A and B are shown apart, each in its own frame.
Chain A
């Protein structure tokens, strides 16, 4: 029960932060900033991917509805990312290394593995986001720099937030 409340608080904080960032920070058409992937990335390691997808859909759809962009883009990207979270996890972490209830964070995984984990999932998110947005492959060449710039910025932000808020052992 208590864990559920915790998760809800984290969920709402990420949602509010994301909506504020989307509405007030605007660096032009080459960069989009997303914060909520960290929420999906850091759900407990053993969580069934059905639940992960439902959480991801909730935060994606929430962002879509509270922001004045196209509806459905963030939820499509978030669900795609949640669906592929389990395979990416098994790719990076050896079996049995993460306990099933543990949060796959920077402290638990180590920096380099966490970085790889985050970058792969963020790439999945960004590719889906960009494809959903233009709804075709026609703009792919123009979107490549957008993808790379956004990926770099969002990875940096994700690492900073992870380090600043969730990295337990840094004192």
Chain B
């Protein structure tokens, strides 16, 4: 195959090729947001779209029973909530809700990496924008990372680089919640002050302190905790959401996001 050259020269050439290819790989890893954009752009999605869509359709068909049950349960909960709201105050102006939702179906999902991503079938055309939160009936799912016309790339909550602000109970201590990377049904809530009392089974909610997720969405239940370096507690959280059977999600559109972000940015600029 190759002509006779001195082995040392051959070795140097292969080392050079190795370094070049490995550098390209590392650039690919560090510039992954570019590739995310590429992956949901028109040409790419039409290549794998057909395959992926038909697969998703088959999966969808076989899971209709579960989907129906989930939807019925959610419906029931929503009706109850509506009834409660109607009783408490019907005078308040509800013409413009603070959060609106865009429902979407999952095209691709994974739970077997350290950095998992989800692709959904709604994009810029439907009003999805970058940095919007994504929720499901059973909890939160992730944050939109890149958007194309018809698809969006979501950083799943099952991603070691992703964290959300969560709190214990409806008005308890709050801290960052992130995935530990070991179990698709568990996460870790950390930075909880040591004096805060936590009982196994306490519900963990979103705190609403970011502009991404609305407050008081139940995420999971608290499990065992341990004290880290004598300063704060680290609590195991078991998700309500099963990420493996996820099919329908809703993208959260916050009315005040723009305003809040501007406020924070201007404040930071003044502080400098």
Contacts and interface: CB of A to CB of B under 8 A. Distances in A.
Category for how many chain A residues contact B: 35 or more
A76 B29 contact: yes
A147 to B, nearest CB: 12
Interface in A70-101: 70-73, 75-76, 79-80, 83, 100
Contacts, number: 129
A50 interface: yes
Contacts of B100: none
Interface stretch (B18-26, B60-68, B226-234, B260-268): B18-26
Interface string A23-54: 11011111111000000000000111111011
Contacts of B251: none
Contact of A75 (B14, B25, B112): B25
Interface in B1-46: 1-2, 10, 13-14, 17-18, 21-22, 24-32, 35-36, 38-39, 44
A124 to B, nearest CB: 13
A60 B24 CA distance: 12
Interface stretch (B125-133, B179-187, B215-223): B179-187
Given A29-B183, A50-B14, A133 B1 contact: no
B13 A47 contact: no
A50 B28 CA distance: 20
B1 A46 contact: yes
Interface centre among A24, A29, A73 (most CB of B within 10 A): A29
B199 interface: no
Given A68-B39, A69-B113, A70-B29, A23 B52 contact: yes
A12 B115 CA distance: 26
Interface stretch (A110-118, A134-142, A163-171): A134-142
Nearest to B180: A142
B113 A72 contact: no
B158 A29 contact: yes
Interface centre among B30, B112, B118 (most CB of A within 10 A): B112
A80 B39 CA distance: 25
Interface string A60-71: 110011101111
B21 A79 contact: yes
A57 interface: yes
Contacts of B109: 68
Contact of A50 (B13, B44, B112, B118): B13
B55 interface: yes
A75 B27 CA distance: 11
Interface in B163-188: 180-184
A28 B111 contact: yes
17 contacts: A23-B55, A27-B112, A28-B244, A30-B112, A32-B113, A46-B1, A49-B14, A57-B21, A57-B25, A61-B28, A65-B39, A65-B44, A68-B109, A71-B31, A72-B35, A132-B29, A139-B160
Given A70-B117, A133-B115, 8 more contacts: A29-B184, A32-B112, A53-B21, A54-B21, A72-B25, A133-B114, A142-B180, A142-B182
Interface of B: 1-2, 10, 13-14, 17-18, 21-22, 24-32, 35-36, 38-39, 44, 47-48, 52, 55, 108-119, 153, 158, 160, 180-184, 244
